Amino acid sequence: MPTAADPTGRYAEFHARSLREPEAFWAEQAALIDWQEPWSQVLDASKPPFARWFVGGRTNLCHNAVDRHAAAHPERRALIWVSTEVDQEREWNFAELQQEVEAAAAMLKRRGVGRGDRVLIYCPMVPEAAFAMLACARIGAIHSVVFGGFASHSLAGRIEDCSPKLIVSCDAGSRAGKLQPYQPLLEEALRLSQHKVEQVLWIDRGLVPLQPQAGRDFIYASEREAVRGQRVPCEWLESNEVSYTLYTSGTTGRPKGVQRDVGGYAVALAASIRHIFDGQPGETFFSTSDIGWVVGHSYIVYGPLIAGMATLMVEGTPVRPDPGIWWRLVQKYQVRVMFSAPTAVRVLRKADPSYLTQSDLSSLRALFLAGEPLDEPTARWIRDALNKPVVDNYWQTETGWPILTLARGVAPMHERLGSPGLPMYGYHALLVDPETGATLEGPNQKGVLALDYPLPPGCLQTVWGDDERFVKTYWSSIPGRQLYSTFDVATRDADGYTFILGRSDDVINVAGHRLGTREIEESIASVAEVAEVAVVGVADELKGQVAVAFVVPKQAMPEDALAAAVMQRVNEQLGAVARPARVLVVQALPKTRSGKLLRRAMQALCEGRELGDLSTLEDAATLQALAERLKPA
């Protein structure tokens, strides 16, 4: 049935069939990748909320991303790496990419890494990191990439949880011209971790001196030479074996290792490139994300390559050397599909608009934005400036590919500013009342966005090493129903467009980075002078949200000194990405009689909003004191 979003009605039928006949639908999508052995069962839904896709089928992510294209189109461009930090550009076609990945795989095998072993990758945006990811996929090892912006404390927790046999790291990264040495951070993380890592493979860029430890540390270039010419065949894996883990912030302060499969993920990405991003083999896909995040996994490394596209990987900021750099890259590499984040667009919006008109952007088909809510003014500005479709999309580390957007590869679809769009095929998305669990059917009702069982291919299998946490965290929060909670509050209008309003838990979104407020609070609480702390997410024009910390000191002390100590501790333990935008030293935190923090009220005060129905909450005197504290000097 035609709607404002789907004028032909074709997408509605496409989506309906994916829910009505999931096995037939996904069997068709599975033809987009190669299988060494066919599956015996498309979907095993016998143990909800766990789901297994393409049971018995044998495939390999690296084969589908590299080898099959190297065999069919060896000279086709595959990976483009640009660093505006060190002023380098390099390219690999599919044949050359296969050689580099096989070399990386040989290095790993030389160091005893095999099927099922974990490899932690802690790197900036360097091509060797992508080679290492693909090499792990090739030999059946499980990679866990940690964002290079995380500090030692966060890194140590991830090392302990995934217990890697080997770590791949780098001498240094660079951001806005500032070098960040990695070895001191990694050495401190290894000291803090209970799990002792046997080997570290260092990528030496020559940016800072490395001090390798004899017997533990090896240099990538030397290892590369030692395995020159060695061939490493792909390990054919059962579809439900583990491809990787990726850590995402949780409300407990302990990050969760999202566990992904092999076959379902490959199928989901291949289908999404075709149906959502409308990408074609031989074209260029440019994602401005980082390999440390899920977008970097799905739409820098795996998705475009599986689809036979070239992928553009950039080390640098959107304004270095100037705000025209991304658009010059679009012109130079004839980018057809671009994927970025609203924060980056807001940064570019502050620049001279002439940068957008200095490059030929005729190759660009559409700009996709995700990672945080896309506000209407930002969407309108970039759409009008580019004169191209700007497509919002909403998803999570846990799902691996979009939940809500517009499937422009299926049928013509119309965006609505402020909304990511409609539920994608395979997702049975509901709005539910968080108190009763009832499904909200009518338009413009506010509820928690939830997904019915089973989740489609590509979504998380479980939490690494903790099935109970997977069930308890994601499938047990909706009263009376076993539904997957996104923990995001949303509304849906009469035309079916969904609008994301914000989180229902204690996870905040800072410039596309999901951060658990509990994790930040635990870091701040470790400062000896801190008696109590609360961290809330506050709306920010540039970053979407920022963290604001309210700190109660144990004894009177200079506010500036305590704030500086708090900032330093968070920077040391979690990294600059988690550092609060503001630290407010207060005498007390507002709480209910049962001791629950009045977070929503604190957030409203920070954002200058009226308390409304929150004004009836207990501890009014403390709230009033906070309001006075927040007034401009």
Pick the CATH number of 507-630 from 3.90.76.10, 1.10.10.10, 3.40.50.1820, 3.30.300.30: 3.30.300.30
pLDDT at 73: 98
Q: How many residues does the chain have?
A: 633
How many Å apart are CA 448 and CA 489, to the nearest integer?
4
How many Å apart are CA 498 and CA 614, to the nearest integer?
26
Residues in a beta bridge with 439: 432
Domain boundaries, the chain: 10-419, 429-503, 507-630
**pLDDT grade, residue 514 (50/70/90)?**
low
Q: Please compute the mean of the pLDDT values over residues 477-505 and round it to a whole number.
A: 90
Q: Please compute the mean of the pLDDT values over residues 82-94 and round it to a whole number.
A: 97
Q: Please compute the mean of the pLDDT values over residues 515-522 and round it to a whole number.
A: 75
Q: Which of the residue ranges 30-34, 353-357, 504-508, 552-556 would you say has the lowest mean pLDDT?
A: 504-508
Helices (H), ranges, 76-182 = 94-110, 127-139, 152-162
pLDDT at 415: 92
* 522 has a pLDDT exceeding 80: no
pLDDT at 614: 45
pLDDT at 594: 46
Query: How many degrees, rounded to 5, is the angle at CA 413 between CA 309 and CA 43?
Result: 65
* 586 has a pLDDT exceeding 80: yes
pLDDT at 506: 65
For the chain, give the percent of residues with pLDDT over 90: 73
Backbone angles phi, psi at 345, to 5 degrees: -65, -40
Q: Which of the residue ranges 54-68, 109-123, 240-254, 387-401 would you say has the lowest mean pLDDT?
A: 240-254
Q: Is 3.40.50.12780 the CATH classification of the domain at 10-419?
A: yes
Q: Per residue in 396-405, is it b (16+ CB within 10 Å) or e — as a string? A: bbbbbbbbbb
How many Å apart are CA 80 and CA 509, to the nearest integer?
29
Q: Are 574 and 519 in contact (CB under 8 A)?
A: yes
pLDDT at 616: 40
**pLDDT grade, residue 440 (50/70/90)?**
very high
Is the bond preceding 49 in cis, omega lying within 30 degrees of 0?
Answer: yes
pLDDT at 609: 78
How many Å apart are CA 369 and CA 390, to the nearest integer?
7
| Calculated CA dihedral for residues 414, 419, 420, 426, nearest 10 degrees | -90
For the chain, give the percent of residues with pLDDT over 70: 95
pLDDT at 98: 98
* 283 has a pLDDT exceeding 80: yes
Backbone angles phi, psi at 589, to 5 degrees: -105, 140
The CATH architecture one would assign to domain 429-503 is: Roll (2.30)
Give the residue, 317 or 512, on which the prediction is more confident: 317
At 170, list the tokens: 């780098």
| Tens digits of residue pLDDT in 139-194 | 999 999 999 878 898 899 999 999 999 999 999 999 889 999 999 999 999 999 99
Mean per-residue pLDDT over the chain, rounded: 92
Task: Give the C-alpha distances (Å, rounded to integers) separating 409 from 187, 272, 307, 391, 605.
Answer: 47, 9, 14, 12, 44
How many Å apart are CA 310 and CA 287, to the nearest integer?
11
Q: Which residues contact 631 (CB under 8 A, 6 or more apart)?
A: none
Q: What is the CA radius of gyration of the chain?
A: 24
Q: Which of the residue ranges 377-381, 408-412, 616-620 would you say has the lowest mean pLDDT?
A: 616-620
Q: Are 32 and 267 in contact (CB under 8 A)?
A: yes
How many Å apart are CA 516 and CA 289, to the nearest integer?
20
**pLDDT grade, residue 596 (50/70/90)?**
low
| Tens digits of residue pLDDT in 219-258 | 999 999 999 999 999 999 999 999 999 998 755 557 799 9
Q: Are 362 and 391 in contact (CB under 8 A)?
A: no
Give the residue, 403 or 444, on which the prediction is more confident: 403
How many Å apart are CA 202 and CA 191, to the nearest integer?
18
Using H for helix, E for strand and C for coil, what is the string for 1-34? CCCCCCCCCHHHHHHHHHHHCHHHHHHHHHHHCC
* 350 has a pLDDT exceeding 90: no
* 561 has a pLDDT exceeding 80: yes
* 613 has a pLDDT exceeding 80: no
Backbone angles phi, psi at 162, to 5 degrees: -95, -10
| Tens digits of residue pLDDT in 97-152 | 999 999 999 999 999 999 999 999 999 999 999 999 999 999 999 999 999 878 89
Q: Are 192 and 151 in contact (CB under 8 A)?
A: no
How many Å apart are CA 124 and CA 239, to the nearest integer?
30
Residues in a beta bridge with 43: 53
